Structure 1
Amino acid sequence: MATEKFLLTSEYEKVDDLIFSVKEFLAKEKVESHILSGVDICLTEALNNIIKHAYNGEQNHPIEVIVSKDSNILEMLLIDEGKSRDNFIIKELDYDPNDIENLPESGMGLYLIKQLMDDLNYYSINGKNYFTLRKILY
């Protein structure tokens, strides 16, 4: 199993660089480009959510991303020390994708992550929040 750890601080400007590094690591591990696109979307949403909600937009707080890939599973574990979520319910969104003027204003990020990944898990323990995203590779 190939594993790499990535660290960043809670600054929106640093998210793209981290995602680029993760995708570079996964490309070396022969992960297909369409999955890398999904990784990009999921990490963008998840990391921005951590910065916005767990850290209330405050900078300089740690976020750790541990990426593991074996022959048929890609796993990304995001760890932060911010405010934990009260619940981890991903609501189904009822919207018309052709009516972009009236897209839902909240919940869209987690909904997208759920659509792109095969398994999600979130829990908090000892002041840290753990969000795991898994994708089955065929």
Structure 2
Amino acid sequence: MKAANMIRLIIDSRLENVSLVGSAVRGIANTLYIDSTTSYQLELCVVEAVTNEIKHAYHGRAGHSVEIDVLLYPDRLTFKIYNRGKSMNPAKVAPFSFDPSNIEALPEGGMGVYILHSLMDEVHYKSINGQNILTLVKYLKKPG
């Protein structure tokens, strides 16, 4: 199915640029009349994904591009996030686990992939010819 609309965002790989992406996602969600909870979840997931790409694929170094395609289909919103940095091996991402009764022991890192899988309907990652592509999909509820 072809996307009805596409927006492409391109930022330099500097962490201070991530807030721009968050603002853009929030604005797109508001324009589509997406409820505030889902809007927050979309923003959180895209910001988390872009932050991780800058930190891990580019080792926090500026001067590289991170591209985000926002694709609006009739039934879903899809974010494709591209970089040409170090690829990720999804099999080596440790599963996130913690004891909810012991908040003091909550780990400070390692929650990103868990958050993505918890809040998005689909999460896919692939690396093709040196380009890493993370795809996040959220199905939209029909009004009424």
Question: Normalised by the size of structure 2, how large is the TM-score?
Answer: 0.87
- Size of the aligned set, in residue pairs, is 138
3-state SS of 2:85 partner:
coil
Kindly tell me: are residues 55 and 47 of structure 1, through their superposed partners in 2, closer, same or farther at Cα, counting changes over 3 Å? same
3-state SS of 1:31 partner:
coil
Gaps of 5+ in 2: none
Residue among 27, 30, 34 paired with 2:30: 27
Tell me the amino acid that sits aligned with residue 36 of structure 1.
S
CA distance in 2, matches of 1:81, 1:121: 17
Please tell me whether residue 124 in structure 1 is matched to residue 107 in structure 2.
Answer: no
Q: Is the 1:91–1:111 contact (alpha carbons within 8 Å) kept by the matching residues of 2?
A: no
Residue 40 of structure 1 corresponds to which residue in structure 2?
A: 43
Matches of residues 1-138 of structure 1 in structure 2 within 5 Å? 1-88=4-91, 91-138=94-141
Q: Is the 2:9–2:68 contact (alpha carbons within 8 Å) kept by the matching residues of 1?
A: yes
CA distance in 2, matches of 1:11, 1:63: 9
CA distance in 2, matches of 1:88, 1:120: 14
Question: Normalised by the size of structure 1, how large is the TM-score?
Answer: 0.91
Return structure 1 stretches of 4+ with deviation > 4 angstroms: 88-91
Alignment RMSD, CA only? 1.6
CA distance in 1, matches of 2:140, 2:53: 26
CA distance in 1, matches of 2:35, 2:6: 17
Gaps of 5+ in 1: none
Kindly tell me: are residues 36 and 88 of structure 1, through their superposed partners in 2, closer, same or farther at Cα, counting changes over 3 Å? farther
Task: Compute the displacement of 1:104 (Å).
Answer: 2.6
